[in-house]
Each structure stands twice: as structure tokens, then as C-alpha cells.
Amino acid sequence: MDKKILPNEVLLEEAGRLLDEGREVTFTPLGSSMLPFIRGGKDSVTLAKKPQVEVGDIVLVRLPGRYVLHRIIERDGDRLTLMGDGNIAGTESCTCADVMGTVVAILKGKRKVIPGKGRPWRFLKPVRRYILAIYRRLPI
């Protein structure tokens, strides 16, 4: 299979359309904001449209002018606060209506991983900086 790289606007708009049709979508995200659980450019994610999202879910969200694949760290009614697992600070806010899909699988080579809710990792936020510094130096 040939590998194609498409601009986010094209790829993720089409992904959103397919998710709205009830189909699953698999793509390889870029960036390091979800380290160490999703390695940008190496791991792929499979998304599906879920009727409800909850704290701990990894979601693809459409924000003004960009798309974000991050974990929900807080929910207040329809308002969501997101943060990348590879981030040590900074959050995004959105509504449930902005969620395009939820990660239902992470593909690491031939291995399929069902994502958890990230509770231990969220608890380690105060020392995440050090863990990520060590991880980024590993030859993985």
C-alpha cells in the first residue's frame, strides 16, 4: 500500500465525514503531544463516533483553524478540557459538539492497543516533565 500524506484540512474533514456516517477511521497522527502513548508519525489511531465521551477518552476535536488529538481531563456538562499526554502544561477547551471521534485503538506496528483512561498518567502530571525527558532520550 502506498503511503500518502495529506494536509490536515483534507484528511480530517474526510475523516469527520466518515465518522458521521458511522464508520471507523484509521490514520497516523503527527506531532509529539500524545507521547508516550501515541508516537507521532509511527503509531496509527482508529477512531469511532461514540454517543458519549468521558474523562480519560482520547478524542479528535475540531477547533477554530486546527484539529487536536488529546485526552479529556475534565468535563463540566457539555464543556470539555483537553490536554495532550505529552504536554506538561496548556489545555484546550471545547464542547462535546466539537468532538469528531474517539480513539478506540492505537496501532503500534502489528500490535493493537485498546487505550485506557490514562488515570496513572494524569496522576503523574507533577513529574511528567522528567518522565518525558527520559522517554525522549530512549532509542525507541
For the chain, give every domain's residue range: 8-137
At 73 the pLDDT is: 95
* 77-130 pLDDT per residue, tens: 999 999 999 998 889 999 999 999 999 999 999 999 999 888 888 888 888 888
Cβ distance 138 to 132 under 8 Å? no
Report the pLDDT value the prediction gives residue 9, as an integer from 0 to 100: 80
Share of the chain above pLDDT 90, in %: 62
> Which pLDDT does position 104 carry in this prediction?
98
For the chain, report the end-to-end CA distance as a whole number of angstroms.
24
Is it true that domain 8-137 has CATH number 2.10.109.10?
Answer: yes
Q: What is the pTM of this model?
A: 0.88
For the residues 55-66, what does the mean pLDDT come to? Answer: 94
Residue 27 in grid coordinates? 490514520
